[in-house]
A and B are shown apart, each in its own frame.
Chain A
Amino acid sequence: MTEYNGYSLRLYVAGQTPKSIAAIANLKKICEQYLTGQYEIEIIDLMKEPALAVRHQIVAIPTLIRQLPEPLKRIIGDLSNTEKVLVGLDIRPN
């Protein structure tokens, strides 16, 4: 795996449920504002591939996983509480 210095984030969603949509939007917003240019986001739709839930033991949707930097962090919910997301991902405001 190549060295990546930024945030590698993986968001697990379920198709177009309201919270899934909200989570995607909110995550993008937060990343643009606080991690400009230093992030990559992967959206996993578990409606299409439920088996992928196993890797990170996803039970609740939406769930955001911070893969990088380590350690793994998990935040459950639609990410509408920005403060909570920043704390949970351990992002220092610029």
Chain B
Amino acid sequence: MPESNRDPKLPLFKDADETVQAIHRGDIDAVVVMRALGGPEVILLHGAEEPYRLLVERMSDGALTAGPDGVILYVNDRLCELSGYPSARLVGSDLASLFEGEPPKFAPEVRAEASLLRNGDDALPVAAWSQPISIGGTTTTLVWLTDLSTHRRAEQIATAERFARSVLEQATEAVVVLSPDGYITHASGRAEQIAERPPVGCMFSEAFALEAQNTEDSGALARFSTESLDILLATKPFHGVEAKLRGERNAKSAFLLSAGPLVDDNKANVGSIVTLTDITDRKRAEEQQTMMVAELNHRVKNILAIVQSVAAQTVRSSDSLEDFADAFTGRLKALATAHDILTQTRWIGIGLSELLAAVLAPYRSPDEARVSIFGPAILLPARAILPLSMVLHEMTTNAAKYGALSTRRGNIEITWQVSGGVDKSIELVWLERGGRKVKASASAGFGTKLIDHVISHDLDGKTEISFDPAGVRLTIAFPVGGLAKRGAAASGAATE
């Protein structure tokens, strides 16, 4: 220690000895050392550093420690700032003397309000919290004080407002904040868009006219009048109720209504946040999916029914297993081809001439005029394609086995007409020539039964088949329900 500054009244050696002893005994928890350059420095000994002490030092609130008798033992810098007094003035004074009038009753976990006396300024309204702690065997009380002055309060409110507003601005959903009595205090941009009128200041039900969407939810919403709904939204949680908004603007949109109450530190209700999430796209996708699944089911059932029927009928007319296998396979292939066509045209349908061309393709080589197809353009509805394909397959098979396609000189002429206005119908004629002579009796086999069944049952149509010695003549007529290709012109030119 620099000699010049030393108090001359201090005895020397005795003190040094005593200090060493004190350190040994553990009576102290900090020492002062001289740095090489610069003055003395306080070093805390191990165990002395209380974590909370650092917290208290750095707190933005004023904090102090008081002994059991109310004497202030320590104050942090912030408290000195708040009171305007230096720590030397405050430490050692009585806790009660900090405050104007009656000092607050300090109890743990309880928030008290008080007026902090200030040096050269009005008393400051503060909120006081206290907590007993034990330091080195002594029970002390930690008190911290928060500045409640309106200035600070106004600052805090302004900051909170700005924050809330910027959050709402960023929101892509319709979000509103309700006061506890149901008035809208803040609204996001999207909320303003879908509201009936500028939402801020209105009751929720005035700005948003809700209608529940499904029966469970309409139970939930319909139970409440608009007034009680407003209060409900402001005070109770509400999750995922599907709703629509009345009015043209929002007619096509579906929403999910959710509300969550806001509480303050004292668990008192201070309002709520209500969200209307746009689920229109989601619902549409759900609906489409449901429709598609239903449609798919329907089609699968259809095809299974057809296959079943074909199998049953083929069995009845087959003499042997080989026969059955042949015939059944042939028919299944026709079904498969027809199904392919349907899939390619996405089940919209196909023109009659295209269908004929597809089914008869194996028998139409470029240099043979064996099969001619002629008639106006007409789009066949999807439901007609499978049945018609079956029929054509039968006719073709028969022609190949017994008819015009079984000889080199036979040919087939397929023509059709479309009649009717809105309720169109097709009359198609299949004419074979130059094949083997066929006998009516022989041909009244399964093929014709199937054809008849399919045309009448699946196509609501009529069949007429005659076995002219010159060749088979089949006429079928069936409705197609007003589906005709635009710009109908004769198509499917006669082949050469």
Where the two chains meet, the residues of A that have a C-beta atom closer than 8 Å to any C-beta of B are: 14-22, 24-26, 28-29, 32, 41-43, 45-48, 50-51, 53-63, 70-72, 74, 76-78, 80
Contact = CB atoms under 8 A, between A and B. Distances in A.
Dominant SS at the B interface? mixed
A42 B91 CA distance: 9
A8 B67 CA distance: 21
Given A18-B50, A20-B30, A58-B32, A72 B7 contact: yes
B67 A25 contact: yes
B450 interface: no
B28 A54 contact: no
B322 interface: no
Contacts of B6: 54-55, 57
A43 B88 contact: yes
B28 A47 contact: no
A50 B22 contact: no
Contact of B74 (A16, A61, A74): A16
A19 B27 contact: yes
Contacts of A56: 7, 10
Given A24-B67, A76-B22, A15 B28 contact: no
A50 B1 CA distance: 13
Given A14-B30, A46-B42, A24 B10 contact: no
Given A17-B29, A19-B29, A24-B67, 7 more contacts: A16-B135, A17-B49, A25-B67, A54-B6, A62-B28, A76-B28, A77-B22
B5 A50 contact: no
A64 B159 CA distance: 48
Nearest to B73: A24
29 contacts: A16-B135, A17-B50, A18-B48, A18-B137, A19-B30, A19-B136, A20-B30, A21-B73, A22-B135, A24-B91, A24-B92, A25-B140, A28-B69, A28-B71, A42-B92, A46-B32, A46-B42, A47-B42, A54-B2, A56-B7, A57-B7, A59-B19, A61-B28, A61-B31, A72-B7, A72-B9, A76-B19, A77-B25, A77-B27
A50 B29 CA distance: 15
A66 B42 CA distance: 21
Given A24-B91, A53-B32, A78-B136, A29 B69 contact: yes
B9 A54 contact: no
A43 B28 CA distance: 16
A59 B31 CA distance: 5
A55 B135 CA distance: 29
B87 A18 contact: no
A26 B135 CA distance: 13
B170 interface: no
B30 A57 contact: no
A58 B41 CA distance: 11
B32 A15 contact: no
A72 B88 contact: no
A80 B25 CA distance: 13
Nearest to B136: A18
Interface string B133-151: 0011110100000000000
B324 to A, nearest CB: 102
A60 B33 CA distance: 9
A74 B44 CA distance: 20
A56 B420 CA distance: 123
B65 interface: yes
A75 to B, nearest CB: 9
B8 to A, nearest CB: 10
B421 interface: no
A42 to B, nearest CB: 8
B118 to A, nearest CB: 21
Contacts of B1: 54, 57
Nearest to A44: B88
A45 B243 CA distance: 67
B92 A21 contact: no
